[in-house]
Amino acid sequence: MEAADIQFRTAALGGFHKQDVQDYISKSNQEHAARLEQLEREAAQLREERDKLKERLEQRDSRLVELSAQVQQLTGQLAEQSSALETSREETAAQKRECAAQAGELKRLKERLEKAEQIVQTYEAIKDRTAGIELEAHCRAQDIEDTAQAQAAEMRAVLGRWLDKVQASYDQLCTGMETTASHIAQELVQTCKNLNGFSAELGERGTALKQLRKIYEEAEGPKMPEPLSLEEE
């Protein structure tokens, strides 16, 4: 009821009619009480919504703490896997140096074998040139040739066994390196995916938390109007 819509009757002695004023005040108080009751209901509803929002905020905060702990754990696992990968690289470098040393030894053995073959060829040439020499010289040359051939055959057998051993060691080393590198690479890829997923979820949770805080701060009940006083004119 607006004040402009109220028309007060004039009293005989001046002023307004007392009953009109009392009726206006009574009606205003009734409207005020009804409005007050409505505002109280709205305030109770807002308080209930505020409590729910507060509970949701607490749950969000708890979830954020859990996610932060998981991120820290995954970060630690990533550091451990990186350390393991670095150790594996160092071991691989050491094994490569060992292979290089073995290759050098193989080269020296090949040189010795070539020298032995040259000796055999020399003895064969001597045998061809001394075909007309007496039997004793021939027998001595034959003995030397047989000895050289036996030495060369023994060196070939030793070199063959050593080559087989080096080849097996090299094949095993290559297989182990490929398996280890593949396993570590897969773990690093999976860990990065998990970290990216947790980072995205944290971003979404942070945005939702800001929105909830804004709603919580804006969820305050309206101010209650003061009741009208009943005063006689």
Looking at the DSSP bridge assignments, the partners of residue 10 are 16
Is residue 209 within 8 A of residue 60, CB to CB? The reply is: yes
**Maximum Cα interatomic distance, the chain, rounded to a whole number of Å:** 178
The answer for residues whose C-beta is within 8 angstroms of residue 153's C-beta and 6 or more apart is none
Check residue 48 and give its pLDDT.
92
Check residue 13 and give its pLDDT.
52
In the chain, domain spans:
16-218
Check residue 46 and give its pLDDT.
92
Check residue 134 and give its pLDDT.
63
Query: Can you give the pTM of this predicted structure?
Result: 0.32
Integer angstrom CA distances of residue 106 from 103, 157, 192 = 5, 13, 44
Integer angstrom CA distances of residue 209 from 57, 70, 112, 113 = 7, 19, 79, 79
How confident is the chain (233 residues) per 10-residue block, as mean pLDDT? 50 61 83 90 91 90 88 89 88 87 86 83 73 68 82 82 80 77 78 77 78 71 46 45
Check residue 45 and give its pLDDT.
92
**16-218 topology per CATH:** Helix Hairpins (1.10.287)
Check residue 17 and give its pLDDT.
65
Which amino acid is it at 198?
F
